[in-house]
């Protein structure tokens, strides 16, 4: 057998390089992480969709990584309160953020923020997409997207579109629809749940999340016209997508996980692997499916690009709609 001979200086260099890698702070932190409880901060109250998903994920991470991951609800200001709390936290992996669709639109909604989301939050992993559905009160005499567009154009400013507030996923999905179709419907933002007024007919249109709307659609209290995602959803296979009539239209609520910038890469990679494993687990996928959610596994880099793309997309929609930051 031929022995590989290396110059002594090169051999010592390689040994030192391996030692440096093995004992670098980032690697050591990742190997020992977590060594105490981890908080996942959610910008919506308990019982909301992001809260439920966060609790499923923290349970998985607790069991897999041997320390408690706990949900910390900090609702308010379209998730800005939660985001700022995480931005101001130490970048050590022990305070994480449940990243929401609102985080991609807030820079267009608020004139002044105490942080720059893309700069100050490091993306870790995508979790889910949640389809939305264009639905109307039964009094609106339409049964398809083309009929809805024609009716809205024939009756400008007569239809009221409810949402959970300016910059919410319901609002931006509706504004994108208005931009791409040229319809003129009135946005009515709510601080609280707008569905009772939609059921009662005080407002007539909503781009709501599918899980929240499913029973209302099945009971006939609301009429679904189409889903907002690029493809049809298994729960309502006969319901078309808006994109089948408005080419290029796509909108969905989504969730992921982020951390303060400068969080060690090894910790981010470890969390990404575990979240990816959760999204591949049949039991977890079944629980998410019960919520109407579609797994959205991504690398940190892919999730970061996704956030940048979404931020740019919604900025264009808000500019078109002449919505000025508050």
Q: What is the pLDDT of residues 297-312, one digit of tens each?
A: 999 999 999 999 999 9
Distance from C-alpha of 324 to C-alpha of 162, rounded to nearest angstrom = 19
DSSP designation for 163: E
Summarised one tens digit per residue, pLDDT across range 232-241 is 998 889 999 9
Numbered ranges of CATH 3.40.190.10 in the chain = 132-244
Average predicted confidence (pLDDT) for the chain: 90
Q: Please determine, for residue 315, whether its predicted confidence score (pLDDT) is greater than 70.
A: yes
Closest CA relative to residue 292, chosen from 132, 153, 143 = 132
Is 271's pLDDT higher than 70?
yes
Task: Dump pLDDT digits (tens) for 171-199.
Answer: 999 999 999 999 999 999 998 889 999 99
Kindly tell me if the per-residue pLDDT of 22 is higher than 60.
no
Which pLDDT score is estimated for 113?
Answer: 93
Q: Is the pLDDT of residue 326 over 80?
A: no
pLDDT bracket for residue 34 (50, 70, 90): very high
Higher pLDDT, 5 or 262: 262
Looking at domain 34-130+252-320, which CATH architecture does it have? 3-Layer(aba) Sandwich (3.40)
Say whether pLDDT at 4 is over 80. Answer: no
Q: Is the pLDDT of residue 324 over 80?
A: no
Query: What number is the average pLDDT over the span 151-159?
Result: 96
> Cα–Cα distance between 250 and 241 in angstroms, integer?
9
Pair of tokens at residue 24? 């670098």
Q: Which fold has domain 132-244?
A: D-Maltodextrin-Binding Protein; domain 2 (3.40.190)
pLDDT of 8 over the 60 cut: no
Q: Which residues are registered as beta bridge partners of 207?
A: 134
pLDDT of residue 292: 84
- Identify the burial level of 36 via C-beta atoms within 10 angstroms of its C-beta, where 0-12 means exposed, 13-18 middle and 19 or more buried: exposed
Residues of the chain with CATH 3.40.190.150: 34-130+252-320
Amino acid 1: pLDDT: 43
């Amino acid at each position: 057998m031929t022995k590989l001979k290396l110059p002594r200086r090169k051999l010592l260099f390689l040994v030192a390089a391996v030692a440096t890698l093995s004992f670098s702070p980032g690697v050591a932190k990742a190997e020992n992480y977590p060594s105490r409880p981890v908080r996942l901060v959610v910008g919506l109250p308990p019982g909301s969709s992001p809260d439920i998903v966060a609790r499923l994920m923290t349970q998985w991470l607790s069991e897999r990584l041997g320390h408690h991951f706990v949900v910390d609800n900090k609702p308010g200001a379209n998730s800005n309160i939660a985001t700022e709390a995480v931005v101001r936290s130490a970048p050590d992996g022990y305070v994480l953020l449940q990243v929401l669709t609102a985080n991609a639109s807030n820079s267009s909604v608020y004139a002044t923020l105490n942080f720059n989301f893309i700069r100050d939050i490091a993306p870790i992993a995508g979790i889910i997409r949640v389809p939305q559905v264009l639905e109307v009160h039964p009094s609106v005499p339409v049964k398809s997207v083309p009929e809805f567009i024609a009716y809205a154009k024939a009756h400008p400013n007569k239809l009221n579109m409810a949402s959970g507030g300016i910059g919410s996923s319901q609002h931006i999905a509706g504004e994108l629809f208005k931009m791409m179709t040229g319809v003129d419907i009135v946005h009515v933002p709510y601080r609280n749940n707008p569905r009772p007024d939609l059921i009662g007919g005080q407002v007539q249109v909503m781009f709501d999340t599918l899980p929240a709307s499913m029973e209302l659609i099945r009971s006939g209290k609301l009429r679904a016209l189409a889903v907002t995602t690029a493809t049809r959803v298994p729960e309502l296979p006969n319901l078309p997508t808006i994109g089948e009539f408005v080419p290029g239209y796509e909108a969905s609520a989504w969730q992921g996980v982020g951390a303060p910038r400068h969080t060690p890469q090894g910790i981010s990679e470890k969390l990404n692997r575990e979240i990816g494993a959760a999204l591949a687990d049949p039991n977890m996928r079944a629980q998410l499916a019960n919520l109407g959610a579609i797994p959205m596994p991504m690398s940190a880099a892919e999730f970061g690009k996704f956030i940048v793309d979404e931020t740019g997309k919604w900025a264009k929609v808000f500019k078109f709609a002449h919505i000025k930051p508050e």
